[in-house]
């Protein structure tokens, strides 16, 4: 099973330090990919990055990045004891409004029947220039 720790009474899934993930930014923040607090799962913003290798995938392909992002969300929810159907909200960040149709088509296919609350935002940039979509999600395990 993937590494997790208990801190502050909550389970932290896939803890890491930003010095390892973003060495060029000279930051040192202790973060994790997901926090399980009671029956609620809070996910860090997910992007088209392989969670094992930290390699960026689907560069230049908004739909491909959306698929990888949902893959990561699904994997992390599974590690937290939840599934896609437990999602209650998502925030979707795009770096260009022209990517909206491609990204939301993928989200519509992958999250069909979930009926989650959602906010969509267009931002100037994400943490890496090759990322064009980022999705945060919160799930509640019944």
Q: Which domains does the chain have, with CATH numbers?
A: 5-140 (3.30.1330.40)
Q: What is the DSSP string of 101-131?
A: HHHHHHHHHHTTT---EEEEEE-S--SSTT-
What percent of the chain is predicted at pLDDT more than 90?
Answer: 84
Q: Is the torsion defined by CA of 14, 76, 57, 116 positive or negative?
A: negative
Q: What is the pTM of this model?
A: 0.93
pLDDT of 40-86, one tens digit each? 999 999 999 999 998 999 999 999 999 999 999 999 999 999 999 99
pLDDT mean over 103-128 = 97
pLDDT of residue 125: 97
| pLDDT, greater one: 25 or 39 | 39
CA distance 67 to 70: 5
* Rounded average pLDDT over 32-42: 97
pLDDT in tens, 3-21: 888 878 999 999 998 888 7
């Amino acid at each position: 099973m993937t590494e997790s720790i208990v801190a502050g009474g909550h389970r932290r899934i896939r803890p890491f330090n930003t010095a390892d993930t973003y060495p060029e930014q000279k930051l040192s923040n202790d973060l994790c990919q997901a926090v399980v607090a009671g029956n609620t799962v809070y996910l860090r913003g997910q992007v088209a990055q392989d969670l094992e290798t930290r390699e960026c995938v689907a560069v230049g392909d908004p739909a491909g990045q959306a698929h990888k992002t949902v893959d990561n969300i699904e994997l992390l929810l599974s590690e937290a004891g939840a599934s896609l159907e437990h999602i209650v909200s998502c925030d979707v960040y795009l770096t260009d409004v022209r990517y909206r149709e491609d990204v939301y088509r993928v989200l519509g296919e992958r999250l069909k029947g979930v009926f989650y609350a959602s906010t969509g935002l267009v931002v100037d940039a994400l943490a890496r220039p090759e990322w064009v979509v980022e999705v945060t999600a919160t799930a509640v395990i019944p």
